[in-house]
Structure 1
Amino acid sequence: MHSAAAKNISSHDGPDSAAMGTLKVLIAAGGTGGHVYPAIAIADALRDSSTNTEILFVGTKNHMEWQTVSKAGYNITSIWISGFHRRLTIKNLLFPVKLVSSLVQSLAIIKKFKPDIVVSCGGYVAGPVGWIATKMGIPLAIQEQNSFPGVTNRLLGKNAEFVFTAFDDAQKYFPEDKTKMVGNPTRKSLIQTNRKEALKTFDFSGERKTLLILGGSGGARSINEAMQKHIDTLHNDLGLQIIWQCGKRYYDKLRRDIDGQDYDRLRLKDFINDMAKAYSAADLVISRAGALSCSELALTGKPSVLVPSPNVAGDHQTKNARSMVESGAAKLVPDNELKKRLADVVDEIIHNEQQLKKMSQSASDLARPNAAKEIATVIIELIHKENKITD
């Protein structure tokens, strides 16, 4: 599949691991949970599909992947890279140095690990790794989570063997013959939790409704501000149980602000490690409309109020949210209206059993639970084809 010109960095030497029975997969993903969790789901599916699969992640030490990947049971190594800031900042002076360094590090990692394939799930870390892989003649597969692809995956797309997308809108940014719409890979563990046990984990009652607030892995300031304004109404007037994931950078201040208040049914969290139990306990979810969040809401069948971030490329979160709204799975509240409308929107939905049931079914109808397995199957087939393996 690869021309001799594409192999101008010729170091993919030695015996092919796939030919010897071991499939070696290098996965590059970093920055946010939207990139990292789908990557872990793909790794899990690869491991389930082939017992002789060796997987190595590439990330950065200063982002969530460094801890999250290890906790999921996979090895991870790092390169030194970050994004180029659009506004003028002194940090941009380091960008050329980081870029060169990351390319050298990526080359060293690939030479040492000798992967049969590289999988890019997005984030700045995927750029150098994916680019070096294609120059070495190693097949590259891309998993794009959003309706509007990130810069890294758009740049890598033309040299990829396969591009796996989750939204129809993303198809137009990649070569048509290489693109396959499969949905976003999600963690199987999200649906393996009993509701009664989940409620017990948070010391909640089955007699009250539970509201789950998610701001993404880093938290969302506007959602936090709206929650602060409406917490009395939600907790006291509506009598809700509340799990509020606010983000590590907001946690200390919020904890101080609510300290001494009588919110006995509030669980303020900087980060939620066991999302399966959080989803299972929830009757209604307030969330950003990132691609992974939408996919997880569909997989878990959770009614939601989606608040698209206004600070994302191509306004892709609004597009994600509208697809959920049009199906009847969610309500959309613009970011600049949430502070005014939060309590009213929750009140309209959370005690309406018929509406909750209808939204839950609509969310479940959107789920693509086999996305990770489909991607793993194509990756394994490609490795076998490249190495001329017959079963």
Structure 2
Amino acid sequence: MDNPRILLAAGGTGGHVYPAIAIADALKAENSDTEILFVGTKDHMEWKAVPKAGYDIRNVWISGFHRRFTLKNVLFPVKLITSLVQSLKILAGYKPHVVVSCGGYVAGPVGWVAGKKGIPVVIQEQNSFPGVTNRLLAKFAVKIFTAFKEADRYLPEEKTKVTGNPTRATLTGANKDKALESFGFNADKPVLLVMGGSGGAKTINEAMKANIEQLHDKAELQIIWQCGARYYDELSTEIDTKKLENLRLSAFLENMAEAYAAADLVISRAGASSCSELMLTGKPSVLVPSPNVAGDHQTQNAKAMADAGASKLLEDNAMKETMTELVEQLIYDQENLQRMNQAALNLAKPEAAKLIAKEILEIAKSKL
């Protein structure tokens, strides 16, 4: 009998790629004979993240269509045709039993060709407002796993199942004292963790730059600030990190488990993966939705968490003026932090990856 062969298509951002990796890990944990192949694009983060996680990846040449006129749109029809031919070749060569779309442009041509060829398509949608790729592929899907029940209204409801977002199993379990030590911090002052997603976030970085001395000196906080690779060089020259001895500025955090364990409060964008990680780790948070995303889905993600009492929502354009007051108000209120911690944990679905993997393998079994 064949081993189950699963193809995962995900690309563009950590919000699509890390859930796909979490599903792949869970598939292997459920059945070690499962064969796994990823499809992504060479110029995005999956090209490094997927091999680093131990999986093979194939390239499909595709990008988004820009709403404003741009020269990049001239290439789009060429890219689309090329991506469909590449997808056909990959599917013909690999012969997957199931194709899993975790979103991003790359999942479009792969999922569409799979649907047309009668290969079962499974969708994992991370956001409360589904991305355009997954909305287009929904008609082909045999099953759609969602993280927020709010997503159901945009998808065929008879196919959807709310499982939560698959998260990396390595995020929990770090010891707080050891985590503080790893950052050179002590237990006397609260720790603020600031993240802008895998690419960094301009508004968050600008607000932090404007308020860093007040947060560090006046509020007496220890600060872990992940600013993103594209902003790191500029910020590290503009900010005197030697003078701010309790600031840890980095382009990217390799040790996320320790960062979460050390933090008392997190400031973050409201991407689906970030929200799911905050739920899983039970971290009280201030969510700053990006205004530059499809369907304003980050605001919807943040509202779902704020309504549950796990987070406070801070609007992007108000951040610079109001963040310090809000952070101080929250980070020194232990009772409130505990309530937010419990609310976040109540929203968490730590079994998401396992549940999704089991159902994918059941679908694959019918094709073996």
Structure-2-length-normalised TM-score: 0.98
Q: Tell me which residue corresponds to 2:27.
A: 46
Q: Name the structure 1 match of 2:333.
A: 352
Q: What is the match of residue 257 of structure 1?
A: 238
Is 1:330 the counterpart of 2:314 in the alignment?
no
Q: Secondary structure at the match of 1:149?
A: coil
Q: Which of 263, 271, 292 pairs up with 1:311?
A: 292
- The separation in 2 between residues aligned to 1:227 and 1:260, in whole angstroms, is 13
Matched residues in 2 for 1:36 and 1:197: separation? Answer: 29
State the secondary structure of the residue aligned to 1:163: strand
1:107-162 deviations in whole A, cap 9, x for unaligned?
11111111111000000000011111112211100000011111100000011111
1:89 and 1:294 map into 2 onto residues whose CA distance is: 33
Alignment of 1:118-157 (within 5 A): 118-157=99-138
- Partner secondary structure for residue 38 of structure 2: strand
Q: SS state of the match for residue 386, structure 1? A: coil
Q: Distance in 2 between matches of 1:275 and 1:135?
A: 40
1:234-277, Cα deviation, whole Å (9 max, x unpaired): 11111111111111111111111014650111111111122111
Q: Is the 8 A contact 2:216 2:222 kept in 1?
A: yes
Matched residue, 2:73? 92
Residues 1:108 and 2:93 are matched in the alignment = no
AA in 1 matched with 2:146: T
- Cα offset, 1:322, TM superposition: 1.1
Q: Name the structure 1 match of 2:277.
A: 296
User: Which letter maps to 1:352?
Assistant: D
Code of the residue aligned with 2:188 in structure 1: it is: E
Look up the match of 2:351: 370
Q: Secondary structure at the match of 1:311?
A: coil
Q: Which runs of structure 2 are paired with 1:196-235 in the superposition (5 Å)?
A: 196-235=177-216
Taking the aligned partners of 1:110 and 1:194, their CA distance within structure 2 comes to 44
Q: 1:226 Cα deviation (Å)?
A: 0.5
Distance 2:111 2:241 in 1: 51
Distance in 2 (alpha carbons) for counterparts of 1:195 and 1:70: 30
Equivalent of 2:224 in 243, 253, 267: 243
Matched residue SS, 1:279: helix
For 1:100, what is the secondary structure of its paired residue? helix
Q: After superposition, what is the alpha-carbon deviation per residue over 1:56-89, rounded to whole angstroms, capped at 9, x for unaligned?
A: 1111111111111111111111111111111111
The amino acid that maps onto 1:170 is A
- Name the SS for the 1:243 alignment partner: strand
Question: 174, 188, 192: which one pairs with 1:193?
Answer: 174
* Matched residue SS, 1:267: strand
SS in 2 for 1:123: coil
Distance in 1 between residues matched to 2:36 and 2:177, nearest whole Å: 35
**Amino acid of the residue matched to residue 181 of structure 2?**
K
Provide the residue aligned with 1:79 in structure 2.
Answer: 60
CA-to-aligned-CA distance 1:3-43 (integer Å, 9 cap, x gap): xxxxxxxxxxxxxxxx32x1111000000010001101111
SS of 2:366's equivalent?
A: helix
Q: Is the 8 A contact 2:241 2:247 kept in 1?
A: no
Report what 2:266 is aligned to: 285
Aligned-residue offset at 1:347: 0.4
Could you state the TM-score of these two structures normalised by the residue count of structure 1?
A: 0.92
| C-alpha displacement of 1:344 | 0.4
Aligned residue identity for 2:280: L
Deviates more, 1:307-316 or 1:212-221: 307-316
Q: Give the corresponding residue for 1:29.
A: 10
Structure 1 ranges of 4+ moved more than 2 A? none
Q: Is it true that 1:65 corresponds to 2:30 in the alignment? A: no
Cα distance in 2 between the residues matched to 1:68 and 1:194: 25
- Within 2, Cα distance between the matches of 1:207 and 1:259? 23
Q: Hey, what does 1:182 align to over in structure 2?
A: 163
Query: Which SS does the other structure have where 2:145 is aligned?
Result: strand
Q: Which has the larger radius of gyration?
A: 1
- Per-residue CA deviations over 1:331-357 (Å, capped at 9, x if unaligned) read 111111101001101000111111111
Match of 1:14 in 2: none
Q: Secondary structure in 2 aligned to 1:93?
A: helix
Gaps of 5+ in 2: none
Matches of 1:278 and 1:146, distance apart in 2: 24
Give the drift of 1:386.
2.8
| 3-state SS of 1:383 partner | helix
What is the CA–CA distance in structure 2 between the aligned matches of 1:96 and 1:325, rounded to whole Å?
A: 41
Question: Where in structure 1 are there 5+ consecutive unaligned residues?
Answer: 1-18
Matching residue's letter, 1:279: Y
**Displacement of 1:192 after TM fit?**
2.6
